[in-house]
Amino acid sequence: MNEIIVRYLNGEATLEEKQQVLAWLRKDRENKKIFSEIRDIWIASISSAISDEEVCDAFAYFEQRIDRHERKGIKHTRYSLWHIAAAAAILLLCSLSGYFFGKQSAFTGTTENMFVMNQVIMGDESKGNITLPDGTKVWLNANSKISYPEMFLQDVRKVKLEGEAYFDVIHNAQSPFIVESDRMEVNVLGTQFDTKNYATQSYSETTLLTGKVEVRFSSDSEFILLEPNHTISFDKQKNTFSIHEVKAKDYIIWTNDKLTFTNELLSDILYKMEKWYNIRITCADGVPLDQRLSFTIRREPKEEIFKLLELIAPIKSNVEGYNVFIRKK
Q: Residue 21 and residue 304: Cα distance in Å, rounded?
A: 46
Q: Residue 49 and residue 95: Cα distance in Å, rounded?
A: 10
Name the nearest CA neighbour of 159 among 292, 80, 150: 150
- pLDDT confidence of residue 126: 81
- pLDDT confidence of residue 192: 95
Bridge partner residues of 316 (DSSP): 327
Helix 77-94 vs helix 52-71: crossing angle, to nearest 10: 170
- pLDDT confidence of residue 86: 43
Q: Residue 304 and residue 282: Cα distance in Å, rounded?
A: 18
**Residue 179 three-state SS:** strand
- pLDDT confidence of residue 94: 38
Q: Residue 31 and residue 107: Cα distance in Å, rounded?
A: 12
CB atoms within 10 A of CB 199: 11
Bridge partner residues of 295 (DSSP): 261
For 113-156, list the strands marked E by DSSP.
Answer: 115-122, 128-131, 137-140, 145-149
- pLDDT confidence of residue 287: 94
Q: Quote the Cα angle for 231-235-238, to 5°.
A: 145
Q: Which residue has the higher pLDDT, 258 or 12?
A: 258
Residues 6 or more apart in contact with residue 292 via CB below 8 angstroms: 263, 264, 265, 266
- Is 83 buried (19+), middle (13-18) or exposed (0-12) by CB count in 10 A? middle
Instruction: Give yes or no for residue 21 having a pLDDT over 80.
Output: no
CA distances from 295 to 164, 255, 292 (A): 26, 18, 10
**Residue 81 three-state SS:** helix
Provide the mean pLDDT of the chain: 78
Q: Residue 144 and residue 241: Cα distance in Å, rounded?
A: 23
- pLDDT confidence of residue 200: 86
Tens of pLDDT, residues 85-104: 444 443 433 333 344 555 44
Tens of pLDDT, residues 243-289: 999 999 999 999 998 999 999 999 999 999 999 998 899 999 999 99
Q: Residue 22 and residue 125: Cα distance in Å, rounded?
A: 34
- pLDDT confidence of residue 230: 96
Q: How confident is the model at residue 39 (pLDDT cuts 50, 70, 90)?
A: low
